[in-house]
Amino acid sequence: MSRKPGRANLWRTFAAPLLILGASLVGLVAALVANGPGDWISWFSLSAPLVAVVWARLRRAR
């Protein structure tokens, strides 16, 4: 089975945004429907975009 060279690049390009999207959706749903531990899950999940931006800025500064 041969692999297309564009397939790996496509996944590498969109992997982080898809993970951030998933974490954000989990955080938003947890914030809407859960109390107690759900609050912690929502805060943790909704901080994913902020963590990604800080990580990217620090990585780019090197």
Ordered per-residue pLDDT tens for the chain, 62 residues: 556 666 678 888 898 899 999 999 999 999 999 899 889 999 999 998 999 999 989 998 87
Residues 29, 46 contacting (CB under 8 angstroms):
no
| Per-residue pLDDT, 7 | 65
What are the residue boundaries of the structural domains of the chain, listed by start?
Answer: 5-61
| Residue 2: predicted pLDDT | 57
CB contact at 8 A, 45 and 30:
yes
Residue 11: the pLDDT is 84
Give the pLDDT confidence score for residue 54 in this predicted structure: 93
Residue 33 tokens, joined = 């429907």
Which amino acid makes up residue 36?
G
For residues 15 and 7, what is the distance between their CA atoms, to the nearest angstrom?
A: 12
Give burial (CB, 10 Å; 0-12/13-18/19+) of 17.
Answer: exposed
